[in-house]
Amino acid sequence: MVIGHDIAGIREDAAGQASIDVVSPADGTVIGAVVAGGPADVDRAAAAAAGAFGTWSTTPMSQRIAHVEALAEGLARHRELLAATLSAEMGSPIAFARSAQVGVAIADLARLVEAARAHVEREAVSNSLVVAEPVGVVAAITPWNFPLHQIMLKVGAAILAGCTVVLKPSEVAPLNAAIVGDILRETGLPAGVVNIVHGDGAGVGSPLVAHPGVDMVTFTGSRQVGEQVARAAAATIKKVALELGGKSAAIVLDDAPLDESVRGVLASCFANAGQTCAAQTRVLVPEGMREAWERAAVEAAAGWAPGDPRAEGTATGPVASALQRERVRSHIETAIAEGARVLTGGLDIVEPTAGGAYVQPTIFTDVTPDMRIFHEEVFGPVLTITPYATVDEAVDLANDSVYGLSGGVWSSDPRRALEVALCMRTGTVGINGAGLDVGAPFGGYKQSGVGRECGVHGFEEFLELKSVMGAAALLDDHS
């Protein structure tokens, strides 16, 4: 059965329309299909969102919060279905899908609700009354690597702010979004507040970004597509939030605990088959620790061997598609040709399940800044090791990137680690393995994007500020 769009609160009939197959990366089989939308579908969804905006934007915050809390409860109620669907359509191991893909999405909504509860809509600033208002109709374009998490960060924050939404989920992993549409209908969200249009970038993404009825675009994906989104949105001067790529570095200081730093860096790099924008894929190690760190890393990598994503004990599933597998393998081939030395993994084909899009977790050493793999995002389970002589050199190497999304520092002295973290030109830094904090702002410097997601700052991305001059003294009359 082909799944249709969700527009104005109705799941549309997709019979007879062109469709896009959803292929399991575990074995290459077709597990579902969604309708291949086009500009006319975008027009209808944008009109539905615009029609719902007037009422939704003036709905009391308490009611908006109740709807988002009901959405979170729906995710929890359908956790197993969502986890199985995510695992099937994009390859996350089932245990990871249950905890990180679905569990983090639920946590996203909880932190956003906290931000909405604490939000001050009106305040006196100088002699003015400053009012925070919803930006309007939001186009949300989400990726395939953490699809549910990204949908919740964008849709949850937008509707709490009083915006209405047209969501274009990734055509690679759209089935979880269809479940979200079902949950939203179960919760009684008013028609048109959230609309879901399926399709690819050319058919739906491009007309959605350029649509004159859309006031803001929030996009997560590659740096290259992010540039296209920004250019298209510029024609109508839309507000744009971009969460793009990364090539994040972990700095291991000379007093860092060896085993803990190895386990932490490998977990950051290899989780979700390396398909994490904030993955720490470059590790910078003191020359004196290098050999010991490499030996420990090779030993630890054995625990990340690829396996069937449906099995509870699997740590690494396939990458999201056969196309993605070939992209990752191309990066590995280039690194070998440029002189990087493989410590483990590489190009040998492994197929824990026949026909699957698997890549061996791979560790390179002897990687230098003149190599492409030092700078280019692989988006697969590939780690590079580069030695350094001084901490200043390590910081320079970490900052030698057009990206600035994430990073890490390892040390037995947290204060020393903090000093180094503050020197890194990146939007987030984890000390001694600290991971994503969905209550804190997440986003990047440089070509890693514009804007922030998660918590208060993610909520505020969907607001505009109006200054009413000379009205500060009237605040109490409108609180």
Give which of 183, 128, 112, 185 is closest to 438, Cα–Cα.
Answer: 112
Give which of 216, 215, 211, 205 is closest to 37, Cα–Cα.
Answer: 205
Q: Rounded to whole angstroms, what are the CA distances from 431 to 265, 300, 383?
A: 11, 20, 19
- Give CA–CA dist 355/352, Å, rounded: 9
pLDDT tens-digit map of 258-305: 999 999 999 999 999 999 999 999 999 999 999 999 999 999 999 999
What is the full DSSP assignment across 446-466? ETTEES-BSHHHHHHTTEEEE
pLDDT band of 1, cuts 50, 70, 90: confident
pLDDT tens-digit map of 78-88: 999 999 999 99
Give the CATH fold of the 2-244+448-478 domain.
Aldehyde Dehydrogenase; Chain A, domain 1 (3.40.605)
Identify the burial level of 236 via C-beta atoms within 10 angstroms of its C-beta, where 0-12 means exposed, 13-18 middle and 19 or more buried.
middle
Contacts of 164 (CB under 8 A, 6+ apart): 49, 50, 52, 53, 56, 57, 136, 137, 138, 158, 192, 193, 194, 195
Domain ranges of the chain: 2-244+448-478, 248-431
Q: Do domains 2-244+448-478 and 248-431 have the same CATH topology?
A: no
State the catalytic residue, choosing from 12, 171, 243, 453. Answer: 243
* Helix orientation angle between 414-421 and 391-399, rounded to the nearest 10 degrees: 40
At residue 231, φ and ψ (nearest 5 deg) are: -65, -45
pLDDT tens-digit map of 45-75: 999 999 999 999 999 999 999 999 999 999 9
Scanning 235-365, the segments in alpha helix (DSSP H) are 258-270, 290-301, 322-337
Annotated catalytic, 243? Answer: yes
Q: What is the chain's Cα-based Rg?
A: 23
User: What element of type H or E holds 409?
Assistant: strand 407-410
- Give CA–CA dist 280/471, Å, rounded: 49
Mean pLDDT along residues 365-371: 98
Residue 68 pLDDT: 98
pLDDT tens-digit map of 451-462: 999 999 999 999
Contact between 163 and 135 under an 8 Å Cβ cutoff? The reply is yes
Residue 478 pLDDT: 58
pLDDT tens-digit map of 135-171: 999 999 999 999 999 999 999 999 999 999 999 999 9
pLDDT over 70 at 352, yes or no: yes
pLDDT over 60 at 479, yes or no: no
Show the tokens assigned to 386. Answer: 């580069």
Give which of 156, 170, 244 is closest to 205, Cα–Cα.
Answer: 170
Contact between 297 and 341 under an 8 Å Cβ cutoff? The reply is no
Q: Strands 216-220 and 137-141, how do they pair?
A: parallel
Contacts 24+ apart (CB under 8 A), 81-87: 81/179, 82/148, 82/176, 82/179, 85/175, 85/176, 85/179, 86/147, 86/148, 86/173, 86/176, 87/309, 87/310, 87/317
Give the CATH fold of the 248-431 domain.
Aldehyde Dehydrogenase; Chain A, domain 2 (3.40.309)
